[in-house]
Amino acid sequence: MALAAVITVVAGGVELFASRASGSLFLLADAVHLLAHLGIFLVLLIPPGRLHGTSEDLGAVAVLGIIVAVAGWVLWLSVDHLLHPPEELPNPAAMLVALFGLAANTCSALLFRRPAETHFSFRAALAHELSDGGMTLAGLVGAGCISLFGWHWVDPTLSLVIGGWLGVWAVRLLVRRALRGPEVFFEH
């Protein structure tokens, strides 16, 4: 878990720096999303014991609440950039920095593979890491479209997709938790 966290922090930091230097909203959204994984990792670190279920449940609800807020912020920025495009296109070559995020997702997925065989929370984290890798690949295709066609709308649209997916995923889990109780996080 510690190795996954270190890799995630480094990749997220590199993406944050590159987003600022390149003007890419996609890199910003991907970095913030990647760093939000640290909350998930903290929940996964809760030691088994008598109060494990309650602690994991409360931790998961808190992390999901933060993720909903982050998703809302990313959505707001994305819509703002779609309605008021910046004068300059983001540097599509800088969007290749998203490969750091892809590497972090891949490393975390590999690290979670074994514990996912016996723990549902790790299976969920593994699935999340793999789907994030798919979104990063879509971002790289978007970088190609910006480079080839000069489409301003690609960068904020990719960010809109990330924010929307993140928000829907978190809200769906929170609604399931509210309707079905804490066992929703532990069902096999």
* pLDDT on residue 47: 67
Total domain count, the chain: 1
Euclidean distance between CA atoms 125 and 180, whole angstroms: 20
Each residue of 33-50: pLDDT tens digit?
888 888 777 777 766 655
Q: What is the mean pLDDT of residues 159-182?
A: 82
The enclosing domain of 83 has a CATH number of: 1.20.1510
Full residue range of the structural domain in which residue 125 is found: 2-185
Global pTM reads 0.72
The pair of three-digit structure tokens given for residue 94, joined into one six-digit string: 């800088």
Rounded-to-integer distance, Cα 114 and Cα 111, Å: 7
Other beta carbons within 10 Å of 96: 15
3-state secondary structure of 28: helix
